[in-house]
Structure 1
């Protein structure tokens, strides 16, 4: 991180000298800009990594605030000409004291924040299908990035220069959208970062297409919406990267690089195609049709997956309920059989079992290890065997989805942990949420309760939720105080009796 920040600042300082060095090395400006992008990207990955495991609202506040602040900084630097490079380098070096300050403050995942169940972060804690949903989202971002690449170079691939008025309009529009998104999340509006953000991005793409066609001699008017679309795609990609970092099993930088390649790579491919394919740059009708098709594809992939996930959620909840009822019926049947067997043993107390396996066994209750158990000979079987049957049934149903979907999940390294443990965690999470509503538990207390009820130690709960063991202990004490329960077993008994 330190190396990237230092090299980023150095390359920015060298940019004003690029026009002088250009006489000796024509591409020096290009390579310096590429170097700034490369080193700045890894610095961004560091800050995204620090937000790993946070709630949805915290992630929105984190990325869209950063985007809004960056727009102000970029605009100020653009106004002061050459001196703007030195200001930009100084701002880059400010990351050093920010790193020191961040280490002294709580991590983003320590901040309790609102996370809707139908959000990317909410999906990943409740549904197996969430991982396939994240892969579909990455695909949709890639398709939208292709549209963004075409729009940024419309119509022949060359950059579109802003006029002072349109430059201000773009900055104000981007900051306004950031404020609106943050405000909606702070007011706990659902679907803002799922259906809402995709509709917003696609509306900006459509608006840019219309304005390019309406004002062919003033492309900077359409570029206002194009550049805003690009900025919002950056923030949304950051947001999705944090989600991947939080719920994938690979190193966080793996997902950061993957997200950056999807967004930046697809955009670059579209831009290069527009520059090099003459039939595209000279045929406005064709390029408009291609961009419109990409917008429709993105909509179908993203919103179609939302509908699919919603249906899968209902189906999974129904299946879990059915399997639970079947399990209870098995336990009841086994318990009735055990009562009858124990009655027989009671009437024949002290006698040996007549079966061949127990012919030489000690009297009932001797308890020798390896000795045939008269309880089993009488037909008394442990209830745990029902649990094993239930585990086998759930394991057969733990991997819903198509083979194609699973390949995407494996490609993006989100497949770790798709097992019966996921279903048990989802069930316990649902039970904990119901208890949370009854006893007014906070979102973080619900998370702690779900893991603690699974039998996890306080240390393991702390590691899973990125909190200190003392904080986990404090949450558990508050849970006991609010619920009036006094042990883990009492919590489990309450869930069995009062949750659906």
Structure 2
């Protein structure tokens, strides 16, 4: 038995409860079936089962390592408390006292009222099996579905309730002790199951060897029950008072319930306080982390702003440098253009009139053109060249001005220079604008005056 309990080391709450209750369920069914066989057959079957356990030790050892990796996904700890509570000496002492007291009560009830064994009848034997199976199935369902406080407060309430019900049945059915004994045997199964469950729990979380916890649990559970049977067997003839026995059992049941429940409530309150402190610490840590993240974000934002300002400043400096380079290039081009100017000419362009007249070929202008000379003298051509340099006319504009001064129409100028009439018209408008003149006649008068 100790080996199988030790092999459950590393299991979780649900697995341990399933192991314990399923084992006792199978045990109750087998014992009930074997009870109908002769005594010799019962002994043979018991021996075979003992040998079968030795045979199954090998396969069980191979699969024991897989137990820790198959923990139930919703299981907490064995008593829904933290591990440090499991190692608390006071909690261990409370469990020991509670189990010992209930086992002591169970010993009294199994030998009620005089300490002698109670003989079962077939109906009461069947009732014991049915009650045990129903209670074990009920506890299994609670463990699997709820998994909180089932193996602590709920389990203790169930055991105390069974003990109280058995006392009521003993008092209600006088001289028919087997009726109450059927409930007492169910209580005995639950006490043994709880003892094994506690052994597995402390085997997992305790610091001592698993066999130490197994031996202590075994001695407390079965030793207390045996002592109660012996005391009842020897002291009942001295008293012969059933009422005293009932009162004593009631007081022991109440005492065991108070001891364990108070300790469970204290442990639960302590765990709740630890949870509150843990949550407050986590919240404080989260707030500190959030503040740190905000500070880092602010620093990153300031760095980004500085980088943006630096980029804008560099872009502005680059733009200013580009403008300065363009201005210097323009001044250099103007200076190179002014190299051809005469000593008396100024490279400064005249002030352009606000309104530049539209150059339109009219019949009057054509009559004026017909009166113009058909050719320019060399001096006039030189004057046109100087006039163009004076007013900063381009080479193309000088060519247009020369042909225009000869009296050619805009169409003729375009044909001579192989350009479109619109382009010729545009050049003439620019010449008027740069020179500040309004007609062909003014240009000719300017050339004549310039030559004088």
Shift in Å, 1:55 = 0.6
Between the aligned partners of 1:114 and 1:210, the Cα distance in structure 2 is 41
Alignment match, 2:149: 191
Shift in Å, 1:263 = 0.7
Alignment match, 1:125: 83
Between the aligned partners of 1:260 and 1:114, the Cα distance in structure 2 is 31
Between the aligned partners of 2:266 and 2:171, the Cα distance in structure 1 is 36
Q: Relative to structure 1, is the Cα distance of residues 285 and 275 closer, same or farther in structure 2, using a 3 angstrom cutoff? A: same
Matches of residues 402-421 of structure 1 in structure 2 within 5 Å? none
Shift in Å, 1:279 = 5.8
Counterpart check, 1:113 vs 2:57: no
Contact in 1 for aligned 2:160/2:253 (Cα 8 Å): yes
Shift in Å, 1:283 = 0.7
Counterpart check, 1:174 vs 2:132: yes
Structure whose alpha-carbon radius of gyration is higher:
2
Shift in Å, 1:315 = 2.2
Aligned length: 290
Alignment match, 2:243: 285
Alignment match, 2:295: none
Counterpart check, 1:88 vs 2:38: no
Matches of residues 46-61 of structure 1 in structure 2 within 5 Å? 46-61=3-18
Shift in Å, 1:257 = 0.3
Contact in 2 for aligned 1:155/1:284 (Cα 8 Å): yes
Shift in Å, 1:266 = 1.1
Once the two structures are superposed, what CA deviation does each residue of 1:132-180 show, in whole Å capped at 9, x if it has no partner? 3343122111111111011011000000010111111111211221122
Contact in 2 for aligned 1:114/1:188 (Cα 8 Å): no
Once the two structures are superposed, what CA deviation does each residue of 1:344-390 show, in whole Å capped at 9, x if it has no partner? xxxxxxxxxxxxxxxxxxxxxxxxxxxxxxxxxxxxxxxxxxxxxxx
Matches of residues 196-207 of structure 1 in structure 2 within 5 Å? 196-207=154-165
Shift in Å, 1:326 = 8.2
TM-score by length of 2: 0.59
Q: Secondary structure at the match of 2:250?
A: helix
Shift in Å, 1:75 = 1.6
Between the aligned partners of 1:327 and 1:61, the Cα distance in structure 2 is 40
Shift in Å, 1:106 = 4.2
Contact in 2 for aligned 1:56/1:115 (Cα 8 Å): no
Shift in Å, 1:129 = 7.4
Contact in 2 for aligned 1:245/1:255 (Cα 8 Å): yes
Alignment match, 2:252: 294
Counterpart check, 1:62 vs 2:24: no
Q: Relative to structure 1, is the Cα distance of residues 281 and 78 closer, same or farther in structure 2, using a 3 angstrom cutoff? A: farther
Between the aligned partners of 1:115 and 1:265, the Cα distance in structure 2 is 36
Shift in Å, 1:112 = 1.4
Q: Secondary structure at the match of 1:159?
A: coil
Q: Relative to structure 1, is the Cα distance of residues 106 and 264 closer, same or farther in structure 2, using a 3 angstrom cutoff? A: closer
Matches of residues 445-464 of structure 1 in structure 2 within 5 Å? none
Alignment match, 1:215: 173
Alignment match, 2:414: none
Alignment match, 2:29: 72
Between the aligned partners of 1:62 and 1:200, the Cα distance in structure 2 is 19
Between the aligned partners of 1:126 and 1:325, the Cα distance in structure 2 is 23
| Runs of 5+ unmatched residues, structure 2 | 291-452
Matches of residues 228-377 of structure 1 in structure 2 within 5 Å? 228-278=186-236, 282-320=240-278
Shift in Å, 1:265 = 1.2
Between the aligned partners of 2:87 and 2:283, the Cα distance in structure 1 is 23
Contact in 1 for aligned 2:111/2:117 (Cα 8 Å): yes
Between the aligned partners of 2:272 and 2:263, the Cα distance in structure 1 is 14
Contact in 2 for aligned 1:145/1:267 (Cα 8 Å): yes
- What is the Cα-based RMSD across aligned positions, in Å? 2.7
Contact in 2 for aligned 1:120/1:130 (Cα 8 Å): no
| Runs of 5+ unmatched residues, structure 1 | 1-43, 333-500
Q: Secondary structure at the match of 2:247?
A: helix
Q: Relative to structure 1, is the Cα distance of residues 128 and 121 closer, same or farther in structure 2, using a 3 angstrom cutoff? A: closer
Shift in Å, 1:324 = 7.0
Once the two structures are superposed, what CA deviation does each residue of 1:460-496 show, in whole Å capped at 9, x if it has no partner? xxxxxxxxxxxxxxxxxxxxxxxxxxxxxxxxxxxxx
